[in-house]
Structure 1
Amino acid sequence: MIQFAWPWAFLLLIVPWLIYKFCPPALAAEEAALWVPNLSPFGETRHQQVQRKGRWQIPLALLCWLLLVGAAARPQWLGDPIELPVSGRDLLLAVDLSGSMQTKDFKLGNETVDRLTALKAVAGEFIQRRVGDRLGLILFGEKPYVQVPLTFDRHTVQQLLNESALGLAGERTSIGDAIGLAVKRLKAGEGKKQVLILLTDGANTAGQLAPLKAAELAAREGLKIYTIGIGADSMEVRSFFYRQTINPSADLDEKTLTAIAEKTGGRYFRARDTEQLAKIYAELDRLEPVVRDRDVYRPISELYFWPLAAALVGALLLILVPQLPSLSSRRRG
């Protein structure tokens, strides 16, 4: 079917009538100054010539105006409705930015990097694979905050994750508050399944909400939480006199992270190096998608150029056809 995007443009159809009604005729104004005692020497007057020759020009001019107004109204061809199935889920990433994430116990290639740098590298690839999901990003330390609300724009989520910095949200860790913020952001979501991926390297040391209490609230709202504990089991520390092997993940509260995942129907993962972290994200890729209501799309094709082209052809005829007799007479002469 045909529709007009700007139907109010048809109000311009009355402009020629308004001009005819309220503006004096141009020919009458020109010939009013010509006074002669007898018309016989002149034969047919110019006014009579215009009347005889202009019988087809006025309807054509009106048709051109009608075509121009029709083009201004933006005619469109509205195609048949097409159903587009939308699959995916509302998925939030909660990333720990506390001071302990600066521990350099991960490797990227041959380079030793801190935990946050390794997380950015692996999580960036995971984000780009989440086609069809609405993604969001929560950063937390002493206090959590939403860095990116739920969006289909995966590029923005990855970019703002890469721009995050250690200590930006404080030195301590508020796991419970981060979960509570995720529950608040996902509570009004349209998806039937909602997922939070929480990544931390420590224990809850700040915040107002206890992690297990936050997990109960999440379970009540149908939010599934996957927790990831990050950090190596051993790390060699060098000093001026000796070398010492320590456990850089001694503060990691695996018991609480496991309980959070179990309460919400999720799962706890342990990432001791970059390779394990990549495998965890590959496992998360196999989450079942949420099927939402189908979106209906109707393709729209613009048609304004057809009446616009016809009006241009008509305008050319109005300009060129009256010039043909004079051009032919010049050639004869």
Structure 2
Amino acid sequence: MIQFGWPWLWLLLPLPWLLRRLLPPVPLRGDAALRVPFLDDFSSATARPSGPVPVRWPLWLAAIAWCLLIAAATRPQWLGEAVELPVSGRDLMLAVDLSGSMEVQDFELQGQLVDRLIATKYVASQFIDRRVGDRIGLILFGQKAYLQTPLTFDRETVKQLLLESAIGLAGKETAIGDAIGLAVKRLRDHPVDSRVLILLTDGANTAGEVDPLKAAELAAEAQLKIYTIGIGADEMLVRSLFGTRRVNPSRDLDEKTLTAIAEQTGGRYFRARNLEELQQIYRLLDELEPIDEDEQFFRPTHALYPWPLAAALLLAVPPLWFHARGVGA
């Protein structure tokens, strides 16, 4: 169907006719610009022939052009079929650790060893794709915490910026408290029941100005629910000149603090030792924070004003040309 954004502009349609009827006509000056004292000698040469029939069609073209111009000014729009949008209304912030320890290659992806950040990108991007209707934001933290993407419905942009992140981009150390504090600041003005932070790290708080437990207290006061994920394998084989030995690549992971942060804010702590566990965690997060199927509808609109506007401009050219040549009604 067609609707008009400014339908009241149709009232301007009779404006040229009203001006013609109400305003006095412009007087035609018939005085000669040059007086010739012996004009009678040229009487035969200055005799005016009978005038041609007035040309009326430029006036009709101008009238049609005016109607089309008014039609364009009313902002005609074509409304498409209603499209249902599932909107949960959650404000979901992802905080991803980019510290130097995330480069440890203790995850296996498609038969190859990859570092922890690549595994996180692989699983988190799928999680972002599933969160249809949520406002999603992205915080990247290392020695400092940075807001990479504010809350937005544009999941493709959030995913792309996550995939473009690199280890060490925010520094080599880990500022967990600053990341939580930044999330509290960004989510404070949003609806209370929808504030969620998913924080993923592989270490302990070694930098920043805010203590993680103090930041958790602020998050609890702001009713921000935090889910924490500790990432990293329990053991891996390391080859050296002295042979192969088993080491714990996650010995610096502060599970006690991450658990306390989650419990204090009403969330949960998860441990991801491999890619399969990380995928299961994000699926469980889908269950803990489900997407509500609220019925909201959107009708796509397409602007139609360029068509009558272009037609009006084309029809206005002949009357202007005739007026310039002195031909008219």
The TM-score normalised by the length of structure 2 is 0.76
Q: Helix, strand or coil: the match of 1:172?
A: coil
Aligned position for 2:203: 202
- Letter paired with 2:290: E
Aligned position for 2:285: 284
- Letter paired with 1:187: R
**1:303–1:216 Cα change, 3 Å:** same
Query: What displacement does 1:66 show?
Result: 2.6
- Letter paired with 2:53: V
* Superimposed CA distance per residue, residues 168-218 of structure 1 (whole angstroms, 9 cap, x where no aligned partner): 212211111110110001111246311100000011111221111111111
Q: Helix, strand or coil: the match of 2:140?
A: strand
Query: Whole-Å Cα distance in 2 between the matches of residues 151 and 175 of structure 1?
Result: 23
Aligned position for 2:53: 50
Query: What displacement does 1:65 show?
Result: 3.5
**1:122–1:86 Cα change, 3 Å:** closer
Query: Whole-Å Cα distance in 2 between the matches of residues 38 and 199 of structure 1?
Result: 98
Aligned position for 2:6: 4
> Do 2:192 and 2:223's aligned partners in 1 also have CA atoms closer than 8 Å?
no
Query: What displacement does 1:140 show?
Result: 0.7
Query: What displacement does 1:72 show?
Result: 3.8
Q: Helix, strand or coil: the match of 1:189?
A: coil
Query: Whole-Å Cα distance in 1 between the matches of residues 160 and 133 of structure 2?
Result: 18
- Letter paired with 1:163: E
Aligned position for 2:233: 232
More helix by share: 1
- Letter paired with 1:209: V
Query: Whole-Å Cα distance in 2 between the matches of residues 14 and 167 of structure 1?
Result: 69
Identity, % of aligned pairs? 53
Aligned position for 1:302: 304
Q: Helix, strand or coil: the match of 2:270?
A: strand
- Report matched runs for 1:80-119 at 5 Å: 86-119=87-120
Q: Helix, strand or coil: the match of 1:192?
A: helix
Equivalenced residues, count: 303
- Report matched runs for 1:154-193 at 5 Å: 154-190=155-191, 192-193=193-194
Query: What displacement does 1:295 show?
Result: 7.6
**1:81–1:274 Cα change, 3 Å:** closer
Query: What displacement does 1:63 show?
Result: 2.5
Query: What displacement does 1:300 show?
Result: 6.5
> Do 2:87 and 2:132's aligned partners in 1 also have CA atoms closer than 8 Å?
no
Query: What displacement does 1:60 show?
Result: 2.3
**1:263–1:13 Cα change, 3 Å:** same
Aligned position for 1:217: 218
Structure 2, unpaired ranges of 5+:
34-38, 322-329
* Superimposed CA distance per residue, residues 115-157 of structure 1 (whole angstroms, 9 cap, x where no aligned partner): 1111111111111111111111101111101111111111111
The RMSD of aligned alpha carbons is 4.1
- Letter paired with 1:69: L
